[in-house]
């Protein structure tokens, strides 16, 4: 594309950010809709966050995504927060509204849309969520709007209990929380049919000794691993072998990105173009790695 003085800028700030797939899908979406905008990754260290945000704002960027480790810290640099971002306590998307930075969180919407598009009957499903970090918080707050059957298991149990208190206070909904042990996981899975992993454990090449070892999966379950890499996670491999329906993290990335795109442009995101761009990038990466 031809970049001129009129070309708007969008981007993602984080550290590390060089492996982000967001530029691939957003640049494809801008090109598809003929929007003169370019999406760029910006590596921003924690000590430079304030200056980076000031720079982006004064350059008049359309908006930007926020990733690790800035999703919470960015809040103090926002002029406004939308309700979902306030409830979750983290921001992954910023809109530059004529100089006012407005913080959103599209991670939960992205995950819920990935579940819905893959045939999960949200109001009637029972969910076991592994992890209580930033992504899990976004997913739980969004899911809790449509279902009451949510169990959260976390290694640091206090964090799961804090999430339960917050969901109760902010949404007036109840979730069940358990420590992340094999026994509790077996108990949780016996009463739910959708497993959502938000911890890095499922991605590990060798899950031996982790709670995934001897994980009892039933083929009627849906297994969604939000952590994505260049190959299918161990958890998803295992789930697929058991005959479960599987959903990869790229689906969440796609839908959270589509939601961010709509916030920035006010236009419907060209989802299939974004999906194709991600898929062909992954094929290219796999070929490059094979060499």
Ligand X SMILES: NC(=O)c1ccc[n+]([C@@H]2O[C@H](COP(=O)([O-])OP(=O)(O)OC[C@H]3O[C@@H](n4cnc5c(N)ncnc54)[C@H](OP(=O)(O)O)[C@@H]3O)[C@@H](O)[C@H]2O)c1
Q: Where in the sequence numbering do the catalytic residues fall?
A: 71
Closer CB to ligand X, 43 or 219, in the complex: 43
Length of the chain: 291
C-alpha neighbours within 13 Å on the C-beta side of residue 24? 20
Which of 181, 186, 200, 230 forms a contact with ligand X (CB under 6 A)? 200
Q: Which residue is nearest to ligand X (CB)?
A: 133
Q: Is residue 136 involved in binding ligand X (CB under 6 A)?
A: yes
101-120 footprint of ligand X as x/- string (CB under 6 A): ------x--x----------
Q: Is residue 135 involved in binding ligand X (CB under 6 A)?
A: yes
In eight-state DSSP terms, residue 12 is E
Using alpha carbons, select from 286, 226, 229 the residue that is nearest to residue 20: 229
Q: Is residue 256 involved in binding ligand X (CB under 6 A)?
A: yes
Residues contacting residue 59 through CB under 8 Å, at least 6 positions apart: 9
CB of 156 to ligand X, least distance (A): 3
CB of 134 to ligand X, least distance (A): 3
Residues 57-86 that bind ligand X (CB under 6 A): none
Which of 27, 193, 198, 265 forms a contact with ligand X (CB under 6 A)? 198
Q: Is residue 202 classed as helix, strand or coil in its secondary structure?
A: helix
Q: Is residue 150 involved in binding ligand X (CB under 6 A)?
A: no
Q: Is residue 142 involved in binding ligand X (CB under 6 A)?
A: no
- Report yes or no: 251 and 229 within 8 Å, Cβ to Cβ: no
> Which DSSP string do the residues of 131-193 spell out, in sequence order?
--SHHHHHHHHHHTTT-S-EEEEESSHHHHHHHHHHHHHHH----EEEES-HHHHHHHHTS-S
Q: Is residue 89 involved in binding ligand X (CB under 6 A)?
A: no
CB of 135 to ligand X, least distance (A): 3
Q: Is residue 179 involved in binding ligand X (CB under 6 A)?
A: no
Q: Considering only 73-81, 131-139, 144-152, 258-266, which stretch makes contact with ligand X by CB under 6 A?
A: 131-139
d(C-alpha 102, C-alpha 288), whole Å: 39
Q: Is residue 5 classed as helix, strand or coil in its secondary structure?
A: coil
Binding site for ligand X (CB under 6 A): 107, 110, 131-136, 154-156, 159, 180, 198-201, 226-228, 249, 252-253, 256
């Amino acid at each position: 594309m031809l970049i001129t003085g009129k070309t708007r800028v969008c981007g993602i700030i984080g550290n590390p950010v060089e492996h982000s797939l967001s530029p691939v899908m957003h640049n494809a979406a801008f090109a598809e809709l003929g929007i003169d905008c370019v999406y760029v990754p910006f590596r921003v260290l924690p000590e430079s966050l304030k200056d980076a945000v000031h720079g982006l704002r004064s350059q008049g960027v359309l908006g930007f995504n926020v990733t690790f480790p800035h999703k919470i810290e960015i809040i103090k640099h926002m002029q406004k927060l939308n309700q979902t971002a306030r409830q979750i306590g983290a921001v992954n998307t910023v809109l530059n509204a004529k100089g006012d930075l407005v913080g959103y969180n599209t991670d939960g919407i992205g995950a819920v849309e990935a579940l819905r598009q893959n045939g999960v009957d949200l109001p009637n499903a029972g969910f076991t969520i592994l992890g209580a970090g930033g992504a899990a918080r976004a997913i739980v707050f969004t899911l809790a709007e449509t279902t009451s059957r949510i169990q959260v298991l976390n290694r640091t149990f206090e964090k799961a209990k804090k999430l339960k208190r917050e969901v109760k206070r902010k949404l007036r909904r109840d979730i069940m929380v358990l420590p992340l042990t094999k026994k509790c996981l077996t108990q949780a899975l016996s009463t739910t049919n959708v497993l959502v992993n938000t911890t890095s454990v499922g991605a590990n090449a060798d899950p031996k000794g982790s709670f995934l070892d001897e994980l009892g999966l039933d083929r009627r379950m849906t297994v969604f691993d939000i952590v994505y890499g260049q190959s299918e996670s161990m958890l998803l491999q295992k789930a697929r072998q058991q005959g479960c329906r599987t959903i990869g993290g790229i689906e969440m990335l796609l839908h959270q990105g589509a939601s961010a795109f709509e916030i920035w442009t006010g236009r419907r995101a060209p989802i299939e173009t974004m999906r194709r761009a991600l898929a062909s990038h992954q094929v290219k990466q796999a070929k490059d790695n094979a060499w």
